[in-house]
Amino acid sequence: PRVIYITRHGESEDNSAGRIGGDTGLSPNGERYAKALARFIDRRRLEFTAEVDEQNHRLEMFMASGTSSGNNSEPESVSSHSSNQSIDYSSLRLKVKPDFEIWTSMLKRTMETVEHFDPQKYRIKNIRSLNEIYAGRCEGMTYEEIATQFPEEFEARQLDKFYYRYPGIGGESYADVVLRLQQVIVELERIRHSVLLVTHRAMARTLLSYFMDIPTTHMPDMELPLGYVYSCEPRPFGNFLRVWRYNT
Ligand code: G3H
């Protein structure tokens, strides 16, 4: 099946200074992650494409011969079905497309994280709705600075992180972010190919909680450190989650 990969951008200059929001580029650590991510996804893509090709080939062999793709000799009753050679079986090819898209936010740190992907192999889209939760007046501050300068805000957020909205123009809550991501999720559900989402912590929490059915009460506190790739693969029981960690 197609796979949805979710990761945060590589470490940014603001991350290493403990500042939230902003729009800084990658730190040297972040740059290393960007290179490793391209190598990792390249390998996954190749394996996936090879699997789809092999399966399509088997299906074609199977339908063309009217029997199994193995070397077993055909039982009489089965071989008689192979007489109708005029049917075009190509429509039976797997519906899964081996295409692969990469979606980033419109902030520098995610765009720089995908700079090592070959644009001939991957369609790359920059989507504003994948931008990090906007912290309004608290943009660019550390959590310690927020706690000292805006203690009531800091406490209100601790009490109800999902509905708490940052003060100032454009300030957002997790509830706002869920709404903002709806269109992205509709599109992800519609398309049939694999996608790597290179985004931010609040976005990764929201996307993973949607795909893995994690309640909104838990979602804003999910530990999602930098340097991890999560993948969701559809299965009969729901999405199957895998987690990879980048070893520095
Ligand atoms: O604001 C930036 C953070 O990545 C979001 O984390 O919601 O736990 O503060 P937080």
ipTM of the complex: 0.92
> pTM to 2 decimals?
0.86
Ligand 1 atom closest to Cα of 133? 1
Report the mean per-residue pLDDT for the chain: 89
Of 46-50, 105-109, 145-149, the least confident: 46-50
234 Cβ contact list (under 8 Å, min separation 6): 1, 2, 240
Q: Does the pLDDT of residue 91 top 50, yes or no? A: yes
Query: Is residue 139 lining ligand 1, measured as CB closer than 6 Å?
Result: no
Catalytic residue, from 19, 45, 157, 200: name it. 200
Mutate to test the pocket of ligand 1, among 201, 203, 226 (most ligand atoms within 8 A of CB): 201
Cβ atoms 136, 169 nearer than 8 A: yes
245, two tokens: 């960690």
Which residue, among 226, 221, 217, 189, has the nearest Cα to 205 in the 3D structure?
221
Q: What is the Å distance from ligand 1's center to 147 Cα?
A: 14
